Structure 1
Amino acid sequence: MTETISPHQSMRTLSHWKHLLEAPLTINCPLMKITGPDFEPPVFIGAGQIHIRSRTEMDFLMHATPRDSGDAFKKIVPAKKNSHNILDQFRLSATQYDGTEWNCGWVSVRLGETIGNVWQLSGPISSLMTIATGHFIAPTSSTEAIYTPKLRLPFSSMMTTSIQRNGVEVLRKTERGGKTVEAAGAQIDFFVDPELDATWAVATTSTDFFHPYAENWVSEPLCLLLGQLVFPRLVARNHGDKSDIWLRPSPPIKMDTLAASILQEDPLGAHGRFWEAYCQTLTMISCARDEDGSRNFEAHPLSRYYHEVIQATRGSDWTWCLTLASAVEGVAKLLIPEAERKSDYAPKTSKS
């Protein structure tokens, strides 16, 4: 008997944005603006392109007209010299031909050729974000994430893929392609997208599992379990009447990093143990608080230690051992409260 995968698949916001995962991809924009600090008018206005080069590289090219040539040049110089001073940096926004408005975040601007009063500007982009409304938005509050290529997860539900040509089926493939778990007051559906060769995660929100933290919490346990850096490439934060869409950099997924996994075995063979560990880890992360008693938007301290170990596996054995020793010490401190860390030796008394 073939199980059906959750109905979450029938209403997904990101189904309308999957084309962004194609690379290389060029987005033509008749209107682009480069601005400085808040409440100031644009420094440059013009047309250009956004180039999605790969999973980790994006940049822009703009043929811009400065509002004031002298003032614009004066702003470019300190932006380069003071790259760590956010008040000297530029922000880029762009509108493509279908009306989609992109927030491209903070950008480093490179000045190219100038012809008359038209300046050629370019620079890297770290991420793209837009706010979407309309019929393609999921009707309930939830978070969606797409990981590409697909993750090595032990699915239980079966999925059948049929490919037809001229109305005739030419290929039918059945594979394990879905799993639904409940943890931290949320239902999380994982499933494979055969068209993209990608993995989806769709999680409902609740009073304990909510925006803007949910999109990060869903991914964190996967880093620990798979022993690799797992970050979604495409994310949707659904509010019911609108959705925030992000295209983010996502490093290549390595398949040979089990040395950094808490399971220490191929996840495809872990089955129930994998998902039990996932739910326990997700609950721990979502319940954690910082020193002020607030939720953590950044990665949990345990996740950060595993990030360091995972990255160290790509270096020398000596680097890996040093990082592992440091991480073990850090994890031990997380497990033992400060008040319980008593020395095995009596404190020294000063001699008179």
Structure 2
Amino acid sequence: MAVLDHWRHLLNTPKTLTCKKMKLLARDHEEPIIIGTGEFNIIDNTTFRYTLRGRPADAAYTFHQLKRQRENPYESLMRFRLVFWDEDGVEYAGGWTVPHVEPGSGDEWIFSGETHSGPWLHEPCDASESNATELIFAIPRGSAAALCLSRFVRMPHEGMKHIPEYVLHTLGSDIAFHYASAVGLLSVNVPASAQLPLTFTENWIAEPLRIMFGQLIYPRLVARNLPDGFSHISLRPAPDFSDVTGWLTLWSGENALTDQIGFWNLYAQILSYVALSRDSGGDPNFDRNKLTRLYEEVIQAASGSRWVWALTTASSVEAITRKLIPPDATRPGVDMEAIKALSVHIDAGRVTRASNPPRSAL
């Protein structure tokens, strides 16, 4: 994790980045709305806020941009883009925002608000680090996922000792996992291959974890190390773990804490399914796989009422069944005559009800 090691400090929340320069930008090729100084605050794993103080070069232009945004609240491209430089001169893209503005009577106006994502930046990387994806996940200590990873992300070293690392050989790549149990961070390094290309991989690697642990597990810190010698680094929002989704875990059973081989075989099988799936045009899917989306829907519904999660679970099971079983497939030994007879009986009942509607409908 040569690239991300330098940026791990961004994971320590709450954290404030003091900005010697900040800009709010409008549409492409338009002048900045405001240039000033301020702070970018990483509140927690999902919340990013900023405060920018300065005076517009042209107040009329700034008011025009603010008015245009307010008149188009549902047009995403009318949101503003935040760019800032920290005290060391590192440039970050701060994400999209709709600011709250306090025009000042003096020299200073205050722009503040939240951004939809964490800061993003790019920097050079060594040739040995290029053409690979680096990911860091925040895994809460004490969770079922943390317990499994502490047991399975390990390899023998020097006799009876173990190191908290595991290398998975799959899809033409050697995926290296490292789990720091003391701080609850899972690091993953994925050299690019034909089946695990850059950009796609940073999303795919997390999908088996969400399905296996029944949690909305997303990477917190990502480095996309390009072949041209530059890394794109981004701090991303990641939801907190839920304590009501334990029944959704695919990885369970009496050997859930002892079967290291079975754990990694299942992870590799799900990753292969995700990576080798193709859309209608034959291209890989950058967005999450449909199977993963169904699991996510059930995970999110589990925090709602029983009625909500029951309906969501039923519809997801039906969707998974339709996806995994061909429409014309039948189970061996099925009595097709009995099925046809039942269908005829149901259809006959529909005809009877249609010809004899209830009195309240007359």
TM-score category of the 2 structures, normalised to the smaller one:
0.7 to 0.9
Alpha-carbon offset, residue 260 of structure 1? 1.2
> Partner of 1:141 in structure 2?
131
Q: Which has the larger radius of gyration?
A: 2
> Any conservation in 2 of the 1:159–1:178 contact (CA below 8 Å)?
no
> Any conservation in 2 of the 1:143–1:214 contact (CA below 8 Å)?
yes
Pairing of 1:120-139 with structure 2 (within 5 A): 120-125=110-115, 126-134=117-125, 139=129
Q: Which amino acid aligns with 1:54?
A: D
Gaps of 5+ in 2: 331-338, 348-362
1:259 to 224, 235, 247: 247
Pairing of 1:133-282 with structure 2 (within 5 A): 133-134=124-125, 139-149=129-139, 151-152=145-146, 153=149, 154-155=151-152, 157=154, 177-193=164-180, 196-240=183-227, 241-254=229-242, 257-265=245-253, 267-282=256-271
SS in 2 for 1:144: strand
Greater helix content? 2
Distance (whole Å) between structure 2 residues aligned to residue 291 and residue 331 of structure 1: 18
2:325 to 325, 329, 336: 336
Structure 1 residues 251 and 41: CA distance shift in structure 2, 3 A: same
Q: Which moved more, 1:90-99 or 1:182-191?
A: 182-191
Distance (whole Å) between structure 2 residues aligned to residue 238 and residue 76 of structure 1: 37
Q: Which amino acid aligns with 2:186?
A: T
2:5 to 15, 33, 36: 15
Q: Which amino acid aligns with 1:133?
A: P
Alpha-carbon offset, residue 40 of structure 1? 1.1
1:43 to 33, 46, 63: 33
Alpha-carbon offset, residue 338 of structure 1? 5.9
State TM-score, norm by structure 1.
Answer: 0.84
Distance (whole Å) between structure 2 residues aligned to residue 149 and residue 61 of structure 1: 30
Alpha-carbon offset, residue 100 of structure 1? 1.0
> Any conservation in 1 of the 2:211–2:292 contact (CA below 8 Å)?
yes
Gaps of 5+ in 1: 1-10, 161-173
State TM-score, norm by structure 2.
Answer: 0.82
> Any conservation in 2 of the 1:155–1:176 contact (CA below 8 Å)?
no
Alpha-carbon offset, residue 318 of structure 1? 2.4
Greater strand content? 1
Alpha-carbon offset, residue 295 of structure 1? 1.4
> Any conservation in 2 of the 1:66–1:117 contact (CA below 8 Å)?
no
Alpha-carbon offset, residue 82 of structure 1? 2.5
Q: Which amino acid aligns with 2:152?
A: F
Structure 1 residues 272 and 194: CA distance shift in structure 2, 3 A: closer
Alpha-carbon offset, residue 95 of structure 1? 1.1
Distance (whole Å) between structure 2 residues aligned to residue 86 and residue 195 of structure 1: 41
SS in 1 for 2:294: helix
> Any conservation in 2 of the 1:102–1:128 contact (CA below 8 Å)?
yes
SS in 1 for 2:152: coil
Identity %: 32
1:298 to 280, 287, 303: 287
Distance (whole Å) between structure 1 residues aligned to residue 231 and residue 327 of structure 2: 42
What's the Cα RMSD here?
2.8
Q: Which amino acid aligns with 2:207?
A: E
Structure 1 residues 255 and 13: CA distance shift in structure 2, 3 A: farther
Structure 1 residues 255 and 14: CA distance shift in structure 2, 3 A: farther
Cα distance per residue 1:124-159 (max 9 Å; x no partner): 022211001156x85231111111135432415259
Note if 1:104 corresponds to 2:91. no
Q: Which amino acid aligns with 2:307?
A: W
Alpha-carbon offset, residue 257 of structure 1? 2.4
Distance (whole Å) between structure 2 residues aligned to residue 68 and residue 294 of structure 1: 47
Distance (whole Å) between structure 2 residues aligned to residue 317 and residue 87 of structure 1: 38
Length, aligned pairs only: 326
